Every structure is written in C-alpha cells, then in structure tokens.
Amino acid sequence: MDRRRADFDTFVAASTDSLMRTAYLIVGDLQDAEDLVQETLLKVAGRWHRVRRMEHPVAYARRILVNRALNDAGRRTRRRRELTGEALPDRFDDTDEPLAFDAHDELLKVLATLPTRQRTAIVLRYFLDLPEAEVAAAMKCSLGTVKSTAARGLARLEQALRTTNDKRSIST
C-alpha cells in the first residue's frame, strides 16, 4: 500500500467518529448522517493529494460536511415528506420515552426545531468546543454571524431550560 493511501486510511480511522457524531447532531438521523459522512470522505479521498498537506485535514473535512449539511437541509426535508407522505416528524424521534421534565431531553427537542444554521453553530461550538473563529470557517461565514446565530439558538434553548425548571419546581 502506498504512503498516500495509508495516510488517508489513518485519517479516516482518526476522524470518522467525530464526523459521524457531529453529522448526527446536525441532521438528527443516523442514515442521513452516514450518507453525509460518506459523501464527505469520498470528496476528501478524491482530493487527498492536496488535503494531506494541509495543517488540519479534519477541519477541511468538517467544512465539507457542514457545507453539505447546510445545503442539503431543504432537500432532506422534502425527501422525508415524500417518503412518508406526511409532515416531517420531529427529529431525534427514535428515542425511548423521555423522562418527565428531563432537561437534556427538552434541550434536544428544542435543538431539533432550530434552523439548521443555528443548530450547526451550536453543535460546532458546544459539542466540538471549536473556537468561534473555527466555527465561522466551517460554516463559511463571518465571526459576527456565528456569534449572532449561536446566540439566537442559545436563547431558544435557554427558554426551554427555564420551562423545564418551572415544570420541575411545580411537580415537586
């Protein structure tokens, strides 16, 4: 096996876990997330001769993934409607019955309803713990846009958390 090929395989082994979990948090569906990761890695493989010389190949892969996720968001929605013949179900709807007033569950429910850009900003910032500048690079937007987008998403999540806490205090 040549060196370039071995390097790529090492890259795949090291980055797939993070890419897949990130994709899942953004699109909310395992199958869609797998497709997204495979498309990303195929694209990286086709350009590996250049990508391997980059300082952070995984950042490049993440940029492809995010770009694809943002561009495909409308298409995924349409596809689901056609397949099911009904309105798009809530994302993350494959989980067990949530515990009553579970804060994380409420947060995730609200996260699933956020616009894709807001959800992506939240995931990159708080799941991957990327600095805002890197989030901006991944989303191909300005630092200010990242800040305002994430802030709007966080505000929605904060509201959900407050509601959950209110319910919790009432029940106890």
Partner 1 sequence: MTEQLEAEVRAALHERAAQVPAARIAQLTHTDYHPRTRRLGPPRRVRPPLAIGALTTAAGTVGAVAVIVSLTAGASNAFAGWTAKPTPPAPGQLAGARASCETSQSPISGLPLKLADTRGPYTFAIYADSNSSAACIKGPSFVAVSASVASSAVNVPAGQILLSTSHQTDRGGDGYSFADGRTGAGVSGVTLTLDDGTNVQATVGAGWFVAWWPGGHPIKSAELTTPTGIVNQTFNLSPEIPCHLAPRCSSSVSDVGGGGPAAGGGTSVSGFASGGGEVQSGSVQSSSRSR
Contacts with partner 1, residue ranges (CB under 8 A) = 5, 8, 12-13, 16-17, 20-22, 24-25, 30-31, 33-35, 37-39, 41-46, 72, 75, 78-79, 82-85, 92, 95, 103-104, 107-108, 111, 122-123, 126-127, 129, 154, 157-158, 161
Task: Output the smallest distance, CB 82 to partner 1, in A.
Answer: 5
Question: Which residue's CB is nearer to partner 1, number 72 or number 145?
Answer: 72
8 Å CB contact between 15 and 61: yes
Could you give the CA distance from residue 52 to residue 97 in angstroms, rounded to a whole number?
44
Task: Output the smallest distance, CB 4 to partner 1, in A.
Answer: 10
Task: Output the smallest distance, CB 38 to partner 1, in A.
Answer: 3
C-alpha distances out from residue 150 to 47, 111, 135, Å: 31, 11, 10
Distance of CA 160 to the CA centre of its chain: 20
Task: Output the smallest distance, CB 5 to partner 1, in A.
Answer: 6
DSSP 8-state secondary structure symbol assigned to residue 96: P
Question: Which residue's CB is nearer to partner 1, number 122 or number 137?
Answer: 122
Give the pair of three-digit tokens for residue 35.
Answer: 């497709």
Question: Which residue's CB is nearer to partner 1, number 84 or number 113?
Answer: 84
Give the pair of three-digit tokens for residue 135.
Answer: 């989030």
Task: Output the smallest distance, CB 50 to partner 1, in A.
Answer: 14
Question: Which residue's CB is nearer to partner 1, number 137 or number 160?
Answer: 160
- Within 8 A by CB and 6+ apart from 64, the residues are 40, 43, 44
